[in-house]
Amino acid sequence: MAWKTGVALAALLAGTDVAAQSAPAGEELAAKFGAREGVQQVSLAPDGSHIAYVVPRGTHGSAAVIADLASGHMTPLELGDGGRVTPTSCGWASASRLICKFYGIGDYGGQRISYTRLLGFDADGKNPLYLGRKTRHAERPNQFDGDVIDWRMGDGKVLMERNFVPERAELGSNLGADGRDGLGVELVDAKTGKAELVERPDRDAEGYFADGQGNIRMKIELPRQQDGQLKGDAIYSYRPTGQTKWTLFSKALRDDRQSLDPIGVDGTRNVAFATKRLDGRLALYSVALDGSMKSELVSSNAMVDVGSIVRIGRRGRIIGATYVTDRRQTDYFDPEYKKLAAALARALPRTPLIHFLGATADESKLLVFAGSDTDPGMYYLFTKATRKLDELTRARPELEGVPLGAMQAVRFPARDGTMIPAYLTLPPGGAAKHLPTIVMPHGGPASRDEWGFDWLVQFFAVRGYAVLQPEFRGSTGYGDAWFANNGFQSWELAIGDVTDAGRWLVKEGIADAKKLAIVGWSYGGYAALQSNVVDPDLFKAVVAIAPVTDLGRTKSEADGFSNRELVERQIGSGENIGKGSPARHAERFKAPVLMFHGDLDLNVGIGQSRLMDKRLRGAGKPSTLIEFPKLDHQLDDSDARAQLLSRSDAFLRKAFGG
């Protein structure tokens, strides 16, 4: 009866649709596309009896919802307040006990910091229990108090990374202070909260890898300088079979591009999977953990990086590797899942992006997601014995029936002749020439776009715009040469590719030269602004969301954090700072500027947009800044996103002359 949960969850989510029946078409579409994802994370119980969803709660924040697959009954966990803390993910410690991670933003010593907390719940939503380490007189804030690194086979106990914060002895107490400090691992009972120390805390430890068999097999250390600043190095250690002492696996020094970097351990094969560069691109190797360190190349691509793995089951078996060419591809190592993925792709030809998200303890039932560029996706429950695929719920139910624009991979020439990959999305309905057009550079800059549904792109496509997403040099995924020392230090190259994208659109007749705009978020917002410093006549309107506007200010925003020196190295110094900061060249702007920013943004401080707006206005340039109170970098609020879309659409149409 699994399909009942789709109906029940859709009904539960119906209250998040902020579109008014009488709203004009543009505002109604903005509300539909601005509504945050219908399903943000999903997890299947070990016995297949329940599913936990993380879904939007009203217009802001999220809620965890437990679905009983036999009855279809939905039970919301009403602990996230939509503001101070909100759930981000859930997993099953047993068939009757759930663990959810909550995220929040708080103040410490006048500085805003993020934090996470773990809580356990019964399958009926009752008996909540805080699972973090309780401290009364901590020497510093406990930001991230736990992460489950091994869910085991469902007996209710999990291996959890724990951040141990030293405690001061209370005045007048005969109890000594707890001096344990750093990241350790404990075996935690999700029902009682009782914990057993498995791995002693290490101040330099950044993470551990379990093997799915209940053992800690690898440790990641990030050494620090005497002042607490990260050096930028990473040391990877492992435990050979049957040993308790740590043995060096590899070192990744700050400027080393030939390191062997582990990304996962598979205890069923007693190997680690690690990336290493092959001909300038990341390839995936398996490395034996028996003490021999014997390595074998398991996946590579001549054009792009292989940078992630696919896991399945409670033990986290590694069954494949993924990389992105024009679309995301999966190189399956496991013949059963390779065959199954191919069969599902044939059965669901309109949604070729197939992902295995989870499984029961015996892997008899699987959580499957299938989507495409024009379909936000569907979640399914697949039963191996009957080969039955039951629909659970749509990823974005509010968009059902809305025609979307097809996304196609294209290439365009940069001024030096280099062919730049990009994604072009045209409006649904067939229009392809002389369109109002948007160049939309991605954030990061250490990131890239992918083929698939994108709510920001699709809103503009449905409203009649063509949208081009350039994979400018400085993007990741295309190897070392393409990364080009990142999009900040190599901003001239990256921004040159972005402006060349606009010129190509006009030359090809896709864009109306008088109706060409640029829209970007985060680094994409920086690129949108800096492109108007480089070529003020090209774009006729600029929309920048949470943008970097001054590289010097970006460096200063890292003051007080342990990665300050790493940020300074990423940004660079010298004349690059002045030339590469759009806020220092406001007088060059000819196009009107619209900016959006949340005042709790921990990634890019809102002061960046305020500075840009002040400088533009001071130079007599048209600028509008819309601030969203109590929102962070992602503007994770349906009302705010709807306003962002509708205001941007109206702004562009006005700039284009209607």
Instruction: Return the SS3 of 24.
Output: coil
Domains of the chain (ranges, CATH numbers): 42-141+159-166 (2.120.10.30), 407-656 (3.40.50.1820)
3-state secondary structure 519-573: EEECHHHHHHHHHHHHCCCCCCEEEEECCCCCHHHHHHCCCCCCCHHHHHHHHCC
Question: Whole-number mean pLDDT of the chain?
Answer: 89
| 26 pLDDT above the threshold of 50 | yes
Q: Is omega for the bond preceding 445 within 30 degrees of 0, making it cis?
A: yes
Confidence band of 538 (pLDDT split at 50, 70, 90)? very high
Is the CB of residue 148 less than 8 Å from the CB of residue 99? yes
**pLDDT one-digit tens code per residue, 457-479:** 999 999 999 999 999 999 999 99
Q: What is the pTM of this model?
A: 0.92
**pLDDT one-digit tens code per residue, 57-87:** 777 888 899 999 998 899 988 665 555 788 8
Confidence band of 115 (pLDDT split at 50, 70, 90)? confident
- For residue 16, the model assigns a pLDDT of 40
Residues β-bridged to residue 339: none
Which CA distances in Å does 353 have to 319, 346, 378, 508, 547?
A: 17, 11, 10, 30, 31
Alpha carbon distance 363, 370 (integer Å) = 19
Inter-axis angle of helices 638-655 and 25-34, to 10 degrees?
140
| 10 pLDDT above the threshold of 60 | no
Secondary structure E strands in 365-491: 365-371, 378-383, 388-394, 407-413, 419-425, 435-439, 466-470
Mean pLDDT value of segment 329-333: 95
DSSP output for 34-59? HSPPS-SEEEE-TTSSEEEEEEE-TT
**pLDDT one-digit tens code per residue, 242-270:** 899 999 999 988 777 789 999 999 999 99
Is the CB of residue 577 less than 8 Å from the CB of residue 567? no
- For residue 139, the model assigns a pLDDT of 65
| 287 pLDDT above the threshold of 50 | yes
Q: Considering only residues 424 and 253, tell me which one the structure prediction assigns the higher pLDDT.
A: 424
Alpha carbon distance 540, 378 (integer Å) = 38
- For residue 83, the model assigns a pLDDT of 57
Alpha carbon distance 510, 54 (integer Å) = 40
Q: Provide CB contacts within 8 A for 508, sequence distance 6+.
A: none
- For residue 569, the model assigns a pLDDT of 75
Confidence band of 489 (pLDDT split at 50, 70, 90)? confident
| 518 pLDDT above the threshold of 50 | yes
Mean pLDDT value of segment 589-614: 96
Residues β-bridged to residue 330: 322
| 176 pLDDT above the threshold of 50 | no
Mean pLDDT value of segment 284-298: 96
- For residue 137, the model assigns a pLDDT of 60
**pLDDT one-digit tens code per residue, 196-249:** 999 999 988 999 999 999 999 999 998 887 777 877 789 999 999 889 999 999
Sign (positive/negative) of CA torsion 417, 523, 206, 357?
Answer: negative
Least confident of 7-11, 345-349, 401-405, 566-570: 7-11
| Kind of pairing between the strands at 541-545 and 593-598 | parallel
Q: Considering only residues 17 and 211, tell me which one the structure prediction assigns the higher pLDDT.
A: 211
**pLDDT one-digit tens code per residue, 625-638:** 999 999 999 998 99
Is the CB of residue 251 less than 8 Å from the CB of residue 259? yes
Q: Tokens 């039951």: give the residue.
A: 390
DSSP 14: G
**pLDDT one-digit tens code per residue, 29-39:** 999 999 877 78
3-state secondary structure 511-522: EEEEEEEEEEEC
| 296 pLDDT above the threshold of 50 | yes
- For residue 144, the model assigns a pLDDT of 82
- For residue 3, the model assigns a pLDDT of 36
3-state secondary structure 277-340: EECCEEEEEEEECCCCCCEEEEECCCCCCEEEEEEECCCCEEEEEEEECCCEEEEECCHHHHHH
Number of H helices, E strands in the chain: 12, 35
First to last CA, the chain: 51
- For residue 198, the model assigns a pLDDT of 95
**pLDDT one-digit tens code per residue, 440-461:** 999 998 899 999 999 999 999 9
- For residue 2, the model assigns a pLDDT of 37
